C-alpha cells in the first residue's frame, strides 16, 4: 500500500503530534465512567444531538427566531424578541390532487389548471424521480401571473408490484418503475396564464421522446422561461429559452457535452437588476464552479478555483457562495465583487474573492433578503454547534448560540479524522475512525467498516463528531473499531473524482475502500481475522461487492436494501453512471452481484424493506435465488411494511438485528 506522510494532529484540547499517519484531528475519548448507549437512544434520542436554533428571514430582512413554540421577531440591535405579525404574502398556491393541478386562492376557492386524462398522467408533480435537482412540479413566475408545471406521461413505463400484507388476503400496489434500458416517462412543461386561463406548452423538440426537462427558471420580467434539456443518454444538454406567452422556442443559450455524463443541478441565478445570470456546472473546468452568462451565450468563469462551489445569493454587487477550497471536508462562505456589468460579460471585471468564515468546520449560511446580514451555523469535530449573526462582510455581530456537548455524560470514545491515499494514487480520501471503549493498544480488536460510497454522498466531513452515525458509537462502546471512508465517486471533489466510477460502479470504490482497510490492517491493535462490513442501498451494493470480491478480508457482512444488478435500477440514476445496458453490457456483467453469489464465503445477512419503491425487492430476492442455486448459505430478514429507509420502531429492531449479527459472528 501507499505510505502515508506523517502530519500534525489537531487535538480538541491542544496541538500534538499524531502517532498514526494520516490523522488530521482527533476528539479525545470520554469513556471513563460514562453511560453506554442503549439501542433506543442510538436510534430515537434527540437529547444526544447538539442544541440548535431555528432561524429564518422575512421578506423585508427581519430576522425571525423560533422561541416558545413559534417564530418571533428578533431585534438585531437590542437582542429582544417580539411577536411576529407578518403574514404570508402568497395569495394563491398550486396544488396537485390525484394527478390534476389546481390553483387554490387565499379564500379557499379552487381553480382547475389541468385535469389528468387517465391514471398514467400527472400534472404539477415532481418528475424524473427527483434527479437533476428536481424537487417539485410547479414554478410561479416572479409576478405570480403565470404558473409553469410539469406534465408527466408514464404510459410506456412498466409497473412493479409491491405487496401489502395489511389487507385480509394481501393486495398488490403497482408503482411505475422505469428500469435501465427500458421505456421511460415523457415530460412536458405547461405554462398557465392566471389572468386569461390559457395554457401553452413549451415547444421542446430536442432529443426525442424521453429527454429530461430540468432546472426550470423564469426570466426576471416573466417573459421567458429557461429549460435545461438533457438527452436520454445524459451526455448532451441544451440550455434553451422559450416564450412564456406562446411556448415557442426562442434560442439555445449554451450547450454542454460530456462523453461520460452531464449532470445539471442548478437553475439559473439572475444578477439583481441586470440581464445577466449565474450558471453552475462541473463540465467546463473540472469542478462545479459559477459562470457569468448572458442570453447571447457569452460565458465567463466567475469562481476560478479548483474546488466545488455552491451559489448562495447576490445583491447585484457581490455574489456569495460556499466553497470546498479550504478543505473538501470543510464548507466556507466567500463573496466576489462584480464590476462593469453594464459593459457585458466580456468586459465585466471581478474583484478578488473574499473569505467570510474562518472558524474550522462546516458552515451553513442563511443570507438575509437585503444582503446586509447572514446567519452562520457551523460545527466541527470538537465543536457541537455555533450560530452567529454576521454582517455581510463577515464581521460577527452577535453569538446566538454556542451549544454544549450533549455527550459528556456518555462513554463516547476517541474519534479521529484522517486521510488515506486512493488506489490510483491521485487523491487523499477522508475517513473517520472510532476506537473501542477503554481502548488498549496492546489488544486486538475487530473492525466494522461502514460504507456507502456512492454518488451524491459525503460521509466524512469536519462537522460535529465528523458526521458520526450514533450506531457507530454504539458498536465502539461494545468493543469494535469502526471505520468510515469516502472514496472516488462521492461528491465535493471535482468531476474527475466523481466520474471515476462511470460504467463500472463499485470497482474504483472497492479499490479505495481496500486501501483504507490495508491501512487498518497495518495497525498493531487490529485483528486482521475479524473484519466486517455494513452498508445500506448503494452501501448495500458495496457491502456485498466487498465480501464476495475480497472473501479473505471480510468475514461478516450486513447489507440493507442492496442494489444487486444495475439493470433492475431506475433509468435516470442507473444510465447516468452505467450507461444503457445495450451500450455497456460488459460493465453491467462485471458489476452484477448475481455473478458473485457463488463466491460468498463469509457470513452475510441481507435486510430488505418489502415495499421498497427505490431498490425494489427483485434485487435481493434474485441474489437469494442465486445463492440457493449454488448451495451458498445466506441469511435474510425482510421488514414487511417498510420502504427503502426502515423507520420508527422497525429501525430499532433493524439495528438490534445488525448489531447481534456482528456479535454472533465477528
Residues designated catalytic: 537, 612, 644
Integer distance in angstroms from the first to the last C-alpha of the chain? 25
Element (H, E) at 55: strand 55-57
Residues facing 17 on adjacent strands: 8
DSSP labels, 470-489: HHHHHHHTTT-EEEEE--TT
Q: Is the distance from CB of 563 to CB of 544 less than 8 angstroms?
A: no
C-alpha cell at 438: 477503554
Closest CA to 206 of 253, 244, 240: 240
Burial classification of residue 166, based on how many CB atoms lie within 10 Å of its CB (0-12 exposed, 13-18 middle, 19 or more buried):
exposed
Q: How far are the Cα atoms of 83, 233, 265, 472, 564 from residue 589, in angstroms, in the given order?
A: 62, 19, 30, 34, 11
Q: How far apart are CA 138 and CA 394, in angstroms?
A: 35
Helix 538-549, helix 507-521: angle, nearest 10:
60
All residues at 6 or more sequence positions from 476 whose CB lies less than 8 Å from its CB, including other chains: 413, 434, 435, 436, 437, 482
Closest CA to 305 of 320, 321, 325, 319: 325
Integer Cα distance of 55 and 189 in angstroms = 34
* Sign (positive or negative) of CA dihedral 322, 326, 327, 329: negative
The Cα–Cα gap between 379 and 465 comes to: 9
Q: Where are the beta strands (DSSP E) in 221-287?
A: 224-230, 236-243, 249-257, 269-270, 277-281
Instruction: State the CB neighbour count (10 A cutoff) for residue 170.
Output: 9
* Residue linked to cell 426537462: 213
64: CB partners within 8 A, 6+ apart: 55, 56, 57, 58, 71, 72, 73, 74, 84
Determine which helix (DSSP H) or strand (DSSP E) holds 70, and give its type and residue range.
Answer: strand 70-74
Q: How many CB atoms sit inside 10 A of residue 533's CB?
A: 29
Closest to 513 measured CA to CA, from 573, 606, 423: 423
Instruction: Decide: 612 and 561 in contact? Cβ < 8 Å.
Output: yes
Strands 526-536, 481-485: pairing is unpaired
* DSSP-based three-state secondary structure for 616: coil
Partnered with residue 419 across adjacent β-strands are 430
Under 8 Å between Cβ of 459 and 514: no
Residue 38 vs residues 445, 467, 474, 552: alpha-carbon distances, Å = 21, 20, 8, 33
Which residues are bridge partners to 402 per DSSP? 386
C-alpha distances out from residue 73 to 64, 67, 79, 376, Å: 5, 10, 10, 18
Quick one: DSSP state of residue 4?
P
Nine cell digits for residue 23: 490523522
Amino acid at each position: 500500500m501507499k505510505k502515508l506522510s506523517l502530519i500534525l494532529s489537531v487535538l480538541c484540547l491542544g496541538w500534538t503530534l499524531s502517532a498514526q499517519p494520516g490523522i488530521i484531528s482527533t476528539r479525545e475519548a470520554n469513556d471513563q465512567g460514562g453511560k453506554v448507549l442503549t439501542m433506543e437512544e442510538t436510534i430515537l434520542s434527540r437529547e444526544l444531538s447538539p442544541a440548535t436554533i431555528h432561524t429564518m428571514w422575512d421578506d423585508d430582512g427581519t430576522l425571525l427566531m423560533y422561541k416558545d413554540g413559534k417564530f418571533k421577531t428578533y431585534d438585531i440591535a437590542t437582542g429582544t424578541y417580539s411577536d411576529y405579525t407578518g403574514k404570508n404574502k402568497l395569495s394563491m398556491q398550486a396544488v396537485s390532487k390525484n394527478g390534476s393541478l389546481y390553483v387554490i386562492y387565499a379564500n379557499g376557492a379552487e381553480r382547475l389548471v389541468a385535469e389528468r386524462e387517465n391514471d398514467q398522467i400527472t400534472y404539477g408533480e415532481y418528475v424524473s424521480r427527483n434527479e437533476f435537482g428536481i424537487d417539485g412540479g410547479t414554478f410561479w413566475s416572479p409576478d405570480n401571473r403565470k404558473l409553469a408545471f410539469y406534465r408527466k406521461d408514464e404510459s410506456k413505463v412498466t409497473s412493479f408490484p409491491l405487496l401489502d400484507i395489511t389487507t385480509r388476503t394481501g393486495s398488490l400496489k403497482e408503482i411505475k418503475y422505469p428500469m435501465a434500458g427500458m421505456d421511460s416517462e415523457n415530460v412536458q412543461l405547461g405554462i398557465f396564464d392566471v389572468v386569461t386561463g390559457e395554457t401553452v406548452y413549451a415547444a421542446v423538440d430536442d432529443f426525442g421522446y424521453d429527454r429530461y426537462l430540468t432546472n426550470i427558471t423564469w426570466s426576471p420580467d416573466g417573459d421567458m422561461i429557461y429549460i435545461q434539456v438533457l438527452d436520454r443518454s445524459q451526455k448532451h444538454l441544451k440550455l434553451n429559452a422559450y416564450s412564456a406567452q406562446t411556448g415557442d422556442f426562442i434560442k439555445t443559450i449554451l450547450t454542454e457535452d460530456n462523453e461520460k455524463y452531464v449532470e445539471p443541478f442548478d437553475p439559473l441565478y439572475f444578477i439583481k437588476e441586470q440581464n445577466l445570470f449565474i450558471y453552475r456546472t462541473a463540465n467546463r473546468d473540472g469542478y462545479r464552479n459559477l459562470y457569468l452568462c448572458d442570453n447571447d451565450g457569452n460565458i465567463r468563469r466567475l469562481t476560478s478555483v479548483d474546488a466545488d462551489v455552491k451559489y448562495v445569493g447576490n445583491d447585484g454587487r457581490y455574489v456569495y457562495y460556499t466553497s470546498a477550497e479550504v478543505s473538501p471536508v470543510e464548507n466556507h462562505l466567500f463573496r466576489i465583487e462584480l464590476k462593469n456589468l453594464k459593459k457585458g460579460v466580456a468586459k465585466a471585471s471581478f474583484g478578488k474573492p473574499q473569505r467570510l468564515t474562518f472558524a474550522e468546520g462546516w458552515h451553513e449560511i442563511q443570507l438575509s433578503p437585503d444582503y446586509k446580514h447572514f446567519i452562520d451555523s457551523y460545527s466541527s469535530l470538537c465543536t457541537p454547534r455555533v450560530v452567529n449573526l454576521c454582517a455581510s462582510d463577515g464581521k460577527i455581530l452577535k453569538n446566538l448560540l454556542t451549544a454544549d456537548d450533549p455527550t459528556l455524560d456518555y462513554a463516547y470514545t476517541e474519534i479521529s479524522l484522517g486521510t488515506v491515499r486512493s488506489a490510483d494514487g491521485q487523491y487523499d480520501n477522508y475517513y473517520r475512525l472510532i476506537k473501542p471503549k477503554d481502548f488498549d493498544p496492546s489488544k486486538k480488536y475487530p473492525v466494522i467498516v461502514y460504507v456507502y460510497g456512492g454518488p451524491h454522498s459525503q460521509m466524512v466531513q469536519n462537522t460535529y463528531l465528523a458526521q458520526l452515525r450514533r450506531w457507530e458509537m454504539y458498536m465502539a462502546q461494545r468493543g469494535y473499531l469502526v471505520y468510515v471512508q469516502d472514496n472516488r465517486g462521492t461528491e465535493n471533489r471535482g468531476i474527475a473524482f466523481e466520474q471515476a466510477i462511470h460504467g463500472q460502479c463499485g470497482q474504483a470504490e472497492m479499490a479505495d475502500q481496500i486501501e483504507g482497510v490495508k491501512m487498518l490492517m497495518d495497525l498493531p491493535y487490529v485483528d486482521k481475522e475479524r473484519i466486517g462490513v455494513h452498508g445500506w442501498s448503494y452501501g448495500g451494493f458495496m457491502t456485498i461487492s466487498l465480501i464476495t470480491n475480497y472473501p479473505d478480508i471480510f468475514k461478516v457482512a450486513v447489507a440493507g436494501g442492496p442494489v444487486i444488478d444495475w439493470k433492475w435500477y431506475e433509468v435516470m440514476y442507473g444510465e447516468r453512471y452505467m450507461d444503457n445496458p445495450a451500450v455497456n453490457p460488459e460493465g453491467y456483467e462485471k458489476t452484477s452481484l448475481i455473478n458473485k453469489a457463488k463466491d460468498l464465503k463469509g457470513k452475510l445477512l441481507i435486510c430488505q424493506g418489502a415495499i421498497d419503491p427505490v431498490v425494489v425487492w427483485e434485487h435481493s430476492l434474485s441474489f437469494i435465488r442465486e445463492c440457493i442455486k449454488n448451495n451458498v448459505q445466506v441469511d435474510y430478514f425482510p421488514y414487511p411494511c417498510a420502504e427503502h429507509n426502515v423507520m420508527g420502531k422497525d429501525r430499532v429492531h433493524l439495528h438490534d438485528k445488525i448489531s447481534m449479527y456482528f456479535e454472533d459472528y465477528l
